[in-house]
Structure 1
Amino acid sequence: MKWLPQARRLAHEVVRPESRWHSAVASVPRHSFVPRWWEQDGETWHLRTGADDPAAWLQAAYRDQTLVTQVDACHADTTSNRVVEGKPTSSSTLPSLVVRMYRHAMIADGDQLLVTTGTGYGTALACARLGDAQVTSVDVDENLVKLAEERLAVLDARPRMEVCDITGPLPGEYDRIVSTVSVRPVPVSWLRALRPGGRFVTTIAGTGLILTADKTADGGATGRIEWDRAGFMRAHHGGVYEHLPEGIWKQAAQGQGEKTSTSRYPLLYPPDAWDVMSMLELKLPGIDYRRSQDGDTRTVWLLHPDGSWARATAHGFLESPVVHESGSRRLWAELDRIRNRLNREGALPVYGAQVSITPDGMATLTRGSWQTVL
């Protein structure tokens, strides 16, 4: 297939020509790392196979978009299923975001770099930029590591590949750690594996917040929440994929709940407002968001692992939603408090916050009078 012109076009779209990442994006065959992927249609995911439609394969692979490669434990490369349901758990991240994460890391030519594996595309970019001897790539899923290693070898790239939990002990010492899975809290193992003055880049689980931090002399780190945003899948552990108890959804779908009220604000689906969602997740981590629409009637659900839930329904786009809530936490009330602050102050304090991390991994975010601890 004539993929090279497509890769060059992608590089021109996502990277400045003078960037050292430009040649990496222009020369790495992304399609070879994503021969099969999942495309979502409502609640279901449909398998796409590149060999069945090479033109569509090239179009998908060399577009600046994320391609989902695994839903729950069902990997596109190894499954016999054509249709599945569940949550995405592994993907090929959109190339522009991979490059942005690497830029936040401020990688120098001689740095030893640890990255997360996924499909191996991000690892291939790092090898093209630094050389494979300076790159270590890790994933908790042995099959993902094996597939990526095989595809990298075809390109004559042989970085160190290891099967390990990114939140646990790491196989060496590094100048930079770039995680394209989200975490909470900051793993202590990162602080221990970083060399003096080393930097890590990650996202906080459930938020759109990119955290960069540099190791300090006491073994902790200082950094900030970047004026940028990204959302990555949560780090998982040993093939375990967490789901809410089914009973929560059954109650939230139609139940009256313990409290009924009318919100003062128009209906909001929090993932559409990243700063609002991030503030809510920092206060109440683990919320699952769902929505539906039937004509002009729209419904949004907030579901928490402790059994709390909220359902807000609005008829028309100008009507305030009626909210039903249940459980130990009033999820929609907390959402409205955040929106009150946004209206009162004109902004929320999450982006640009300073971050201080102790050697045992406790991270404190501060901006003005606002403070929160991960």
Structure 2
Amino acid sequence: MSKVAQELRLQLAKTLTTSGHLRTQPWRDAVESVPRHEFLRGGFFERIDGNGPTAWSPITPKTPRWLERCYEDESLVTQIAGTIVPGDLRGEIMRAPTSSSTMPGLVVRMWEDLRVEDDSRVLEIGTGTGYSTALGCHRLGDERVTSVEVDAGVSGCAGTALAQCDYYPHLIVGDGLLGYPDGAPYDSVIATCGLVSIPLAWVEQTRPGGTVLATLGGWMYSSELARLTVHEGGTASGRLLGGQVSFMLARPQSPPPLGILPDLDQGDEEPAKLAPDVLDDWETRFVAQLAASGTQRITLDRDGSTEHVFLDVEAGAWAALRQNGGQWLVRQGGSARVWDDIQGHVTRWRQAGAPHLDRFEITVTPDSQTISWPA
């Protein structure tokens, strides 16, 4: 297998170079050297598409083309429902993924975007399978990489795979949103989980002039990679990098359960200035999240028609939109006017020329996080 795997690694590096994700020789050397399949010995899940809920089927080293699949540029789900791994299952499962091996193209793009130097000390949030961690170790050396994983079982499997490949970074089991202060200060922080807000701990644990690279989004699931430079005084600023990058949200920042829905028939209907399908666009949905960061979006079939419902569970606010002929109508209730906030923010963005997300600026202070488009 070693010769075949080596050829597959070389082909993967060539593919990632051609796509523009792999841009410098040190990271190409890492991709050509680190055996991704060793981090997928436990198998992964394949999505089974159908008319009902998404189902997942296990793929193991005994499955045909397992090795080849390990070196394709795709994300591979490695855990379902917080505990279930491929070896636990025969047949299919209809539960939500909770851990994965990120597509190599995104992994190396992020490492390249981090812009490390040979002597950089990096804090990685989200060890996962350990493949990304191994690339960091190959590039920087084991002693310069600290990786935090919230799931002890996932961290243990990653540690075994890393040791099998002769990499021995500092592996920490804990809440990655707290960073790891015992190893601070770091030159860079890189996160392989989605976020609603940048934890202040990461800024505090990064030296002034250092970099924080993470994916920012919201509970309507539009997100982008952000690169921030840390400043004196515990602040950081930077920009979104674009590319529609998404990760599973960090568990502590996942949306709350919807619970019992409010009475969506209360209140008066009025014409909506924007139709809810404007949020089918990735950039528009990201802008909407800035105005309603605690809002989740669902659709309901009621009285023979589809309603688009926006719920802020924690604030106790909601909006429900339905189409009547060619017109969209909205009802709103609770502590805030959710749809008014969304359509107002989207309208102002459009009036500014709808600048692309890679022009948006982020500022993090001890008191707040702001994301805005250029004036």
TM range, normalised to the smaller chain? 0.7 to 0.9
Equivalent of 1:283 in 278, 291, 295: 291
Amino acid aligned to 1:209: E
Amino acid aligned to 1:172: G
Instruction: Say whether the 8 Å CA contact 1:72–1:241 is kept in structure 2.
Output: no
Structure 1 length normalisation: TM-score?
0.81
Matches within 5 A, 1:158-307: 158-170=168-180, 171-173=182-184, 174-206=186-218, 207-237=222-252, 243-248=256-261, 256=265, 258-261=267-270, 263=272, 265=274, 267-268=276-277, 270=279, 272-290=280-298, 300-306=308-314, 307=316
Paired residue for 1:28? 34
Q: CA deviation at 1:323?
A: 4.9
Mapped to 2, the partners of 1:45 and 1:357 lie a distance apart of 39
Mapped to 1, the partners of 2:111 and 2:354 lie a distance apart of 28
Mapped to 1, the partners of 2:324 and 2:6 lie a distance apart of 50
Aligned identity (percent) is: 29
Deviations 1:158-198 (A, max 9, x none): 11111121111514021111011133432222123213322
SS at match of 1:175: strand
Distance 1:366 1:338, change over 3 A: closer
Distance 1:40 1:7, change over 3 A: same
User: Once structures 1 and 2 are overlaid, which stretch shifts more, 160-169 or 2-11?
Assistant: 2-11
Structure 2 length normalisation: TM-score?
0.81
Paired residue for 1:70? 79
Instruction: Say whether the 8 Å CA contact 2:355–2:373 is kept in structure 1.
Output: no
The answer for unaligned runs of 5 or more in structure 2 is none
Instruction: Say whether the 8 Å CA contact 1:199–1:214 is kept in structure 2.
Output: yes
Instruction: Say whether the 8 Å CA contact 1:38–1:69 is kept in structure 2.
Output: no
Equivalent of 1:337 in 333, 344, 349: 344
Matches within 5 A, 1:304-315: 304-306=312-314, 307-312=316-321
Amino acid aligned to 1:287: T
Corresponding pairs, count: 357
Mapped to 2, the partners of 1:261 and 1:53 lie a distance apart of 56
Mapped to 2, the partners of 1:127 and 1:60 lie a distance apart of 24
Mapped to 1, the partners of 2:300 and 2:136 lie a distance apart of 40
Deviations 1:27-50 (A, max 9, x none): 323233231225253423313222
The answer for unaligned runs of 5 or more in structure 1 is 370-374
Mapped to 2, the partners of 1:312 and 1:88 lie a distance apart of 30
Paired residue for 2:148? 138
Q: Does residue 91 in structure 1 map to residue 100 in structure 2?
A: yes
User: Once structures 1 and 2 are overlaid, which stretch shifts more, 184-193 or 260-269?
Assistant: 260-269
Instruction: Say whether the 8 Å CA contact 1:185–1:361 is kept in structure 2.
Output: no
SS at match of 1:75: coil
Q: CA deviation at 1:134?
A: 1.7
SS at match of 1:21: helix
Q: CA deviation at 1:86?
A: 4.3
User: Once structures 1 and 2 are overlaid, which stretch shifts more, 5-14 or 83-92?
Assistant: 83-92
SS at match of 1:111: coil
CA RMSD, 1 decimal: 3.3
Instruction: Say whether the 8 Å CA contact 1:15–1:21 is kept in structure 2.
Output: no
SS at match of 1:200: strand
Q: CA deviation at 1:106?
A: 0.8
Q: CA deviation at 1:344?
A: 3.1
